Structures are given as structure tokens and as C-alpha cells.
Amino acid sequence: MATLLRPTDLNLMASDAEAAKMDEERKLKQKKDQKQLELRDAFMGREIHPEVFDRLNQAVSVAAQRGLHQIQVITFPSSYCSDGGRRINIADPEWPSTLQGFAKKAYDFFDAELRPLGYKLHAEIISFPGGMPGDAALYLKW
């Protein structure tokens, strides 16, 4: 004769299931956090591509032939800025001082190579998840 499960047995089963679910969510969060860290490290260590002049000439030529006067050249999480993107968001003239990693290298390249030719660089926050600055973008204008 089979016996019925007791409420304590069912509570134990539910607790085990909940613990397993929480463990799985914890592992997924760890993987996500690790991936974000790897992406951040890659961004911070990234260098200007050796073929930057050829690539840039190609991109601006195509854009100009389409009647455009700007191209988006880089996108990155605003959290990569030293102020979380606040100066970019309010269009503070000092926003370049908050750039880090590849964004700073890109700005320095612009300042040394492109600004003297008459190009301009514009930064803006392009997403606001939960009402907070999300991704930032840099636009090269002519």
C-alpha cells in the first residue's frame, strides 16, 4: 500500500526546488558578470586599428555619398566613463575628460588627427534603461 506524501515532505521538495532555482540564477548571474568584465577589459585595452585611416576614409565617403554629415564611430556603456556618462548627458564641455579606455584613445586620435582637418566630435547618451544613462555614442561630424 502506497503512502501519501506529508506536507513536510512537500515543503522539503519545494525548498529543494527553490534552492536549485536560486543556485541556477546565481550561476547565470556569475557568467553574465564575468562576460561583462571581459567585455570591459577588452574595451579598456583596445587600441586604434592600424588601418584606421583607410577605414575612416571609406566610412565617411560612403556616408557623404548618401548625403549624411556624420557617422557614429563608437558606442560603449556610459558606465565606462568616470562619471557614469553624466557630463555627456548634460553636454558639459568637459565631457572628454571623463572618457576611459578605448573611448579616450579614440578621442585622443580625433583630437590629434581629425580636429586639425576640420572634423568635429559629438557625444550623447543614446539609451536610458530604467531612466538612467545606458549607452553612449561618439559621432564624427563634418
What would the DSSP string read from start to end of 69-96?
Answer: SEEEEEEEEGGGSTTTTHHHHTT-TTGG
- Please give the model's pTM, rounded to 2 decimal places: 0.81
91-98: average pLDDT: 97
For the segment 119-133, the average pLDDT, to the nearest whole number, is 96
**What are the tens digits of pLDDT across the range 19-72?**
999 999 999 999 999 999 999 999 999 999 999 999 999 999 999 999 999 999
3 state DSSP class of 126? coil
Rounded average pLDDT over 8-23: 95
- The domain limits of the chain are 8-45, 52-141
Task: Give the mean pLDDT of the chain.
Answer: 96
pLDDT of residue 2: 82
